[in-house]
Every structure is written in C-alpha cells, then in structure tokens.
Structure 1
C-alpha cells in the first residue's frame, strides 16, 4: 500500500500509522531536526543563532519581530538570543537600545566566519542524496511541503 493513501485506516478499521501523512511528516521533521541539532552543536551554535546569522547576512538591520518570525520564536525571546550572540562575539550592537525601541545589530567578522563554515554544512545536509532522494524528488518534495505549510499556516 502507498503511504498516506488510505487516510490512516487499515482494512480492519484500525489506525495504521504508516498511512498517516501528517504523522509521517512529524516523524520525518523530528529526524531531520535531530540532524540539524547535531550539526549546529558540532559547530558551537544553536538553531536560533544560525537563523539569526542567516537573516542578518541577507538583511542587515532587520527588525527583531522579523527575526522572531524567521527563527520561530516569540518576539520577547529574541532579546536574550541576541544578547548571548553578542556575548560570544557573533554580532554587535550598532545602535544603543532605548526604551520602546529595538536594538540594531550586525554580524561581526566572527559571526561571518561561523556562517561561512556552518552554511555549507547545512547545504550538504539538504542535498538530495543526503535525504535519500533524487534531485527531481527533492524538488517535488520541497514544492509539496511548501504547499502543505502554506495551507496549514494560512
């Protein structure tokens, strides 16, 4: 039987987890997430720090609210993440914070070096072969996952 084809029920009417597409997506997300966490730990960064570095490299001066959306945390959680990144030298303040105004930050040379090492490792983890897929399968899967994400988020 093709995975996901029966809507989750087997011939006897019981739940067959192998046919639950959403459940397979959860399990796959967990397995991929574990790989990312190991990769980030090997490079001394967190998933949130990596996300901040990527976004700031593409869009210097981006708002803390946009950073929060990018790294999937609440806006209140961004401040402590940025302070820790500043403490370890991955970024620096470029404007002092004032009450009611976000602190503007930029990537330091150390942050850029970190991104230059971690970025290719992330790309390697995302290669179709690393996922057990062909290039066409990876493209199709990516398109379908974006469609599911947009549907569930909309």
Structure 2
C-alpha cells in the first residue's frame, strides 16, 4: 500500500506540474470550485490540514491570484472563492486528473478499477 501510494504520488505530482500545480493545491482549488464561499476553517477540514497550514496556503494562493477572500465583517468567517485565474488553472488540471483516473493509466481493466474503487472506499470508511 505504501509503495503504491508513493508511486501514484510521484506520477500525480509530475503530471500536475505540467500545468504549474501541486497536488495539495489542486485539492484546495477543486474543493473551492465545488463549494464557493467556503470558510477557511471548513476548507482546512475538507482538505485535512490544520487551520494554521490553511492560512499559509491561502496567503500563497492569494499572492498567486488564484483565490480571493473579501474582508469579513467582524465576527464572521473568512469566505474564500476562486478567481478567474484559479478557475482557469483548475480547468487545465481536470483533463490530467481524468486521464490519470482511467483504468488503463493504472494498469487495470475497467472491472478491476471498479473493484479497486470499492475496496479503497472500504479502507477509507474503516480508517476515517
């Protein structure tokens, strides 16, 4: 499991680098795409990083022009949204993700990919 995880991580990282994106940042942009206006705390929970780490990641994404957050009113959470540049970058990443998710890219038949997906969901459910 560890070897497969490392191998897939290397491929995923190399493929996303072709559009100038790192895997953890892809996760943030994809989550924001599905949930615009999400608070930074909820975003941190969704991508499984600490709120402190999310703050640093968001500052970098804001600097790069990929996300924006209007100044919150006192006592309200920070609302984060993709910018047009963030949407464009994510749009360039999706074909890579689709290609990597094809069974043949993993050396599997369609039936084997379905079985693997089922088993991985069981592992996720069992491990949280």
TM-score by length of structure 2 reads 0.90
Query: What does residue range 26-41 of structure 1 map to in structure 2 within 5 Å?
Result: 26-41=2-17
The corresponding residue for 1:73 is 49
Please, what is the CA RMSD of the aligned residues?
A: 1.6
Structure 2: how far apart are the matches of 1:37 and 1:107? 21
The answer to whether the 8 A contact 1:91-1:111 is kept is yes
Q: Please state whether the residue corresponding to 2:81 is helix, strand or coil.
A: strand
The corresponding residue for 1:140 is 115
Structure 2: how far apart are the matches of 1:128 and 1:66? 32
Query: Comparing both structures, which one devotes a greater share of its residues to helix?
Result: 2
Summarize the Cα distance change of 1:145–1:64 in structure 2 as closer, same or farther, 3 Å threshold.
Answer: same
Match of 1:129 among 104, 107, 123: 104
The answer to whether the 8 A contact 2:39-2:77 is kept is yes
The answer to whether the 8 A contact 2:13-2:23 is kept is yes
State how many pairs are aligned. Answer: 128
Match of 2:86 among 111, 115, 129: 111
Structure 2: how far apart are the matches of 1:143 and 1:69? 24
Q: Please state whether the residue corresponding to 1:105 is helix, strand or coil.
A: strand
The answer to whether the 8 A contact 2:27-2:47 is kept is yes
Residue segments in structure 1 that go unaligned for 5+ positions in a row:
1-24
The corresponding residue for 2:36 is 60
Summarize the Cα distance change of 1:129–1:83 in structure 2 as closer, same or farther, 3 Å threshold.
Answer: same
The answer to whether the 8 A contact 2:68-2:80 is kept is yes
Structure number with greater CO (CA < 8 Å, separation at least 6) is 2
TM-score by length of structure 1 reads 0.76
Greater C-alpha radius of gyration: 1
Structure 1: how far apart are the matches of 2:121 and 2:58? 28
Residue segments in structure 2 that go unaligned for 5+ positions in a row:
none
